[in-house]
A = this chain, B = another copy of it.
Amino acid sequence: MSSERTGQRVLVTLRRMISAGELAAGERLAEIPLAERLGVSRMPVRMAFRELEQEGLLVRAGARGFAVRAVSPEQIIGAVEVRGVLEGLAARLLAERGASEAVLDTLKTCLKEGDALFENGCFAEADAPLYLDLNIRFHAAIIQASGNLAIQEALSRNDHLPFASVKALAIDRNNLAAEYKRLNYAHIQHHAIVEAIAAGQGARAEALMREHANAVLRYTELDPAREGVAILRGS
């Protein structure tokens, strides 16, 4: 058997099964049936359970076993609020310390790519992954450049909750005009954030980034199970 590979495979398989809904929220998970279902022994499953508990995807079910975490809309809103203050802190720190030319270049590249996406005045379905990708790079650049590792760690935990991360984007294919307006607004915020960071305006950068996180809250108004609603996931 290939050492080191089985555990990782079990981990990503369980993550996928949970976020895809194959394992229902609240469902109790036992080691033996899952191990047999995946064709491995109980040991990799045990390790994966602990890992997934730390990631927030599983919760301990009483004294025995784990259960898929049921996440309420209120919890998603709470996680988005947390993301807002954390990314707001990152933006303020970066503005106060001053962004290097390299960081500003990265951010401005994201701005340019977005400008190209939105200049047509409308939105094609194929544009969504492009926006998702540049959005991920934009936020990651600010968090990294803030120089505060604790922000990154706190966010990496928070981001495991579905819909609370910048790495997931829910798109309503039946309402591309509305989605255009929503994402275009977010992109204009990106411009303002870079402006504030480049000008060293820490408080403004922080306020803008907080409001920017709130823009994502619209996601929760979309029923993921409805026809035409797609959920894109980034790297």
Does chain B have a CB within 8 A of A93?
Answer: yes
Most central of A75, A89, A154, A164 by chain B CB within 10 Å: A154
A78–B81 alpha-carbon span in the complex (Å): 19
A164–B78 alpha-carbon span in the complex (Å): 23
CB-based nearest B residue for A51:
B50
A162–B149 alpha-carbon span in the complex (Å): 15
Known: A50-B50, A51-B54. A150 touches B88 (CB 8 A): no
Does chain B have a CB within 8 A of A85?
Answer: yes
Question: Could you show 8 A-B contacts with beta carbons less than 8 Å apart?
Answer: A50-B51, A78-B151, A81-B89, A81-B93, A85-B86, A85-B89, A154-B157, A157-B157
Does chain B have a CB within 8 A of A82?
Answer: yes
From residue 44 to 81 of chain A, which have CB atoms closer than 8 A to chain B?
Answer: 46-47, 50-51, 54, 56, 74-75, 78-79, 81
A126–B54 alpha-carbon span in the complex (Å): 37
A85–B83 alpha-carbon span in the complex (Å): 11
What are the residues of chain B within 8 A of A75 when measuring CB–CB? 149-150
Protomer copies:
2
Which residues of A pack against B, CB within 8 Å? 46-47, 50-51, 54, 56, 74-75, 78-79, 81-82, 85-86, 88-89, 93, 147-151, 153-154, 157-158, 161, 164
Contacting residue for A56 out of B50, B153, B158, CB 8 A: B153
Known: A56-B153, A153-B157. A86 touches B93 (CB 8 A): no
Known: A81-B89, A82-B150, A86-B86. 4 other contacts (CB 8 A): A75-B150, A78-B151, A79-B150, A154-B158
Most central of A82, A89, A147 by chain B CB within 10 Å: A82
